[in-house]
Amino acid sequence: MQTITELLGEHGPLAQHLSGFAPRAQQQAMAEQVIRTLEKDGLLIAEAGTGTGKTFAYLVPALLHCQGSGKKVMISTGTKNLQDQLYHRDLPTVRDALGVSTTVALLKGRANYLCHYRLEMQEGRRTRPQQQDQLARIRAWSRQTKRGDTAELSAVPEDSPVWPMVTSTSDNCLGGDCPAYSECFVMQARKDAQEADVIVVNHHLFFADMALRDEGFGEVLPGVNAFIFDEAHQLPEVASVFFGLNFSSRQLQDLGRDTLIEVHAEAPDEDRMQPCLTALDKAARDFRLALGVDNRRAPWKELATQTSVHDSAENLLTILNRLAELLDGLAQRGKGLERCWRRALELRVQLGQFLVGDEPLTADSYEEDNATESIESTETGVPGSQVHIQWFETHSRGFVLHMTPLEIHETFRSYVDKQRSAWIFTSATLAVGDSFTHFARNLGLDDAASQRWDSPFDFARQALLYVPTDLPQPNTPDYTTAVVEAARPVINAAGGRTFFLLTSHRALREVARQLEGSIDFPLLVQGTLTRPELLERFRELGNAVLIGTSSFWEGVDVRGEALSCVVIDKLPFSSPGEPVLQARLEAMREQGLNPFFDHQVPQAVITLKQGVGRLIRDVQDSGVLMICDPRLFGKSYGRIFRNSLPPMPVTRDAADVKHFFEVHRN
């Protein structure tokens, strides 16, 4: 029997079966640590630099751990795209190379699977011509698909408004009462997951289940012996979303649409519902207007006492009560109507939580105030007795009211302790310098073993860090203009081939405006096309400049000469005006901590490492990283950022940048 190191070595099965496979000492060392953690049901935090091959470093041990042992491993990824890549490409590749019979399954949230019942309910409904065409494509696909995964049908965009019409959620699913239950793709995916040795999920699905929401794999969890989280740096933020509560205009719109469909199907003689739904739509729009004209994110307490906000919220609550009463009288006429009635009750309770008092509001205090409600607080997704931060955000056509937990580490750690399984957290960006304190503290993993493996890439040869001199401080009005002027000669020296990464949408718009028509290279701007389309165009053009914000800082892989320069405008500190961040920083001050050095700097370091990671993606890559922020050298904490970056030469002279590109172009 070969060891893990031998399996990943130059004479191992992966080297023999995979073209271009290169043995890496870092990968082998990480795999050894992973198998030891699996065998001991331990806790491991593992940072693996770009190019380490961390995916194979945990897949090989995971597959071997399950082979013939009856053990089950759950792997969670950051996004559905990574989830598909892992299931459809990486797992089959490793499994075939190892020659093991370990079974694998893919499980996504309910809304990612076609619902036969809801598709049937669309028959005869009037929709726009484009939607009719997309529905026809979905119907044709429904007769061929074996899994019902909406990602299979690329002919219908994933953001098409048609998909919510033909997929279900935990709110509108009829469960065992559905007439199409025997054909349900969700139930088939769950069954496959229960029977598989390795289950591939995503972070959102995992935490949806933890937050007591029926999203897909509650039946699977008791049998899991190990959990592996890839892109684990995303976990604290995702957990905060799912351990809280959201009440949105989108939920109201979905309830109105589904109620209308169910009334037409199960109570066509009901003539009071349409006026009520019209009133609900108007009440939601009035409430949105009361929150202000501008798009914003702010603490709820800033508006909660305003008369217009209070009155419009009370009116919305009254309409929800009226809708719930109407549906109560119809609930016995069909399971669809009963489900809509329960959703109306849940939304009524959720809205009520924002009207019962000032911050901080705890789930326990709310439960006491609402003990007679028919919907329990756990069903609203607010677990435990944590302190929650109330805040809101508005956009052009809607709003979201949030209750976000101040901390999630106790909730998460209690869940870890209950499972008695191995837990492995890995990413290219978990440490600040050599310390994992920030990540471990956020998830309650202070006793976890931790280790980091540097990238095998030769950054000393392949990369150059350029920090220009004489730029103004980032808080000055002309900062973005100065950044663009400093970046122009670098972009020209690179021959285009640049990612221009910004820390705000305002800066993105300003940079796009200044570069439009003033450079001799194609300009691609976030928002003009979808992210996949922009990346495809960037690769095809070979000399483009792509301007993007947060969605391009991570999860983007462009190898080769098409990307030879990454420009970052500022150190990516979160806005101090963010309501959740404000509350957390204040809580840290009360605990005697230094919120800037204990939270803001570590979080910014991890984000910066993600952006830097876009530059060198292969042993043949080379390029210049330009960080414009003068604080990198002008502030004492700049050293923390510099020490967390890959070891590459640093220059303050633009002539060195030009020389670098001349050398690496030959």
Given the DSSP bridges, would you call strands 463-466 and 104-106 parallel, antiparallel or unpaired? unpaired
Give the CA diameter of the chain: 79
Residues constituting the chain: 666
Q: Return the domain boundaries, the chain.
A: 4-103+196-241+409-453, 111-183, 244-405, 459-665
Q: What is the pLDDT of residues 454-512, one digit of tens each?
A: 999 999 999 999 999 999 999 999 999 999 999 999 999 999 999 999 999 999 999 99
Identity of residue 407: E
Residue 218 has pLDDT above 70, yes or no: no
Q: What is the pLDDT of residue 499?
A: 97
Q: Work out the burial of residue 182: count CB atoms within 10 Å of its CB; fewer than 13 is exposed, 13-18 middle, 19 or more buried.
A: exposed
Q: What is the mean pLDDT of the chain?
A: 89
Homologous superfamily (CATH) of 4-103+196-241+409-453 is P-loop containing nucleotide triphosphate hydrolases (3.40.50.300)
Q: Is 335 helix (H, G, I), strand (E, B) or coil?
A: helix
Q: Does domain 459-665 have CATH number 3.40.50.300?
A: yes
What pLDDT, in 10s, does the model give residues 162-174? 999 999 988 788 8
In CATH, the number for domain 244-405 is 1.10.275
Q: Is the fold of 4-103+196-241+409-453 the same as that of 244-405?
A: no
Is the whole model's pTM more than 0.85, yes or no?
Answer: yes
Are 198 and 66 within 8 A, CB to CB? yes
Structure tokens at 660: 């670098």
User: In 384-462, where do the E strands start and end?
Assistant: 387-395, 398-405, 422-427, 449-453
Which tens digits make up the pLDDT trace of 51-99? 999 999 999 999 999 998 889 999 999 988 899 999 999 999 999 999 9
pLDDT band, residue 177 (cuts 50/70/90) = confident
d(CA 453, CA 47): 6
How large a percentage of the chain has pLDDT more than 90? 72
Span 151-171, mean pLDDT? 89
Mean pLDDT of 552-566: 92
Is residue 361's pLDDT more than 80? no
Whose CA is closest to 405, among 584, 240, 579? 240
